[in-house]
Amino acid sequence: MDSDGTDPGVALPLADLDSLRVFMPYEIRLAQRRAMGWGIAAEETLQHTSIGLYLLQAAGPREGPLPPDEEGGFELRAQLVAGARAALRDSDVLGVISGSELFAVVHDLEPHQSYVVAQRLLSATARSELLRGAGVSTRVGYLVYPLTTQPNFPPLQWTALVDLARAVSLRGISNTPKAPSGFGIMRGPAASDNDIPESDLVDLAFQDLDSLVGAGLLSLQRIHLMSGL
């Protein structure tokens, strides 16, 4: 067992998209029930009620897709999965969204430490000589869920949360297209003072995230690759 709680001898199971379709509504419902039961407004209970939804994206040279399996893509994807597994705990869930995207659910997450998981995902993949040699870059986008103190997002619409993580990850990509980086969002300091339904808040985040951050309804974390994580 490593110092961060991971066991290098145990391979984290890899969920496919069909498994995620079954699993994710359950995860969303469970997070909502825990939040309502524990009382999410209490700061000390956030770690027990929050989950992290992380989307790790890989791009080939010139920000194109990874090559097909028969042209070396299989080895690149395997290395991407290995790096992500190394960054996560045995209790977390790792799945495949597409040929260039991995999705992770991190349990019992302390919101203000959520950037550490993102840093580990980026660092683990950046250390791969195979990925670097192939010109593969990675970005991460994530949400700390629930996003409000009255979580009511429809669990069956969980893919909208993945889409939001994807949109968040692409912020600023035109300025640093190859840099391992990304963004994350979580509920803001004024979240308990508003009565915006969570489903509406997610829709608004697609339209004008900066205004929600400015109003304190959401908080935004910017992630850069740091050595030593």
Q: How many residues does the chain have?
A: 229
Q: Which one-letter DSSP state was computed for residue 191?
A: G
Please answer whether residues 114 and 34 qualify as being in contact, where contact means their C-beta atoms are separated by less than 8 angstroms.
no
Give the separation between CA 56 and CA 91, rounded to whole angstroms: 18
Thinking of the domain 14-224, which architecture would CATH place it in? 2-Layer Sandwich (3.30)
Please answer whether residues 60 and 131 qualify as being in contact, where contact means their C-beta atoms are separated by less than 8 angstroms.
no
Please answer whether residues 187 and 144 qualify as being in contact, where contact means their C-beta atoms are separated by less than 8 angstroms.
yes
Listed by start position, the domains of the chain span: 14-224
DSSP string, 95-154: EEEETTEEEEEE-S--GGGHHHHHHHHHHHHHT-HHHHHTT-EEEEEEEEE--SSS----
Count of other CB atoms within 10 angstroms of residue 159 = 13
Give the list of residues 6+ apart from residue 109 with CB closer than 8 angstroms, or none: 47, 50, 51, 52, 117, 144
> Distance between alpha carbon 167 and the CA centroid of its chain, in Å?
11
pTM for the full model?
0.88
pLDDT digits (tens), the chain, 229 positions? 343 444 444 455 689 999 999 999 999 999 999 888 765 545 554 556 799 999 999 988 766 788 888 888 899 999 999 999 999 998 999 999 998 999 999 998 988 889 999 999 999 888 899 998 888 989 999 999 999 888 999 999 999 999 999 999 988 665 555 667 889 999 999 988 887 899 999 999 999 999 999 999 999 999 877 554 4
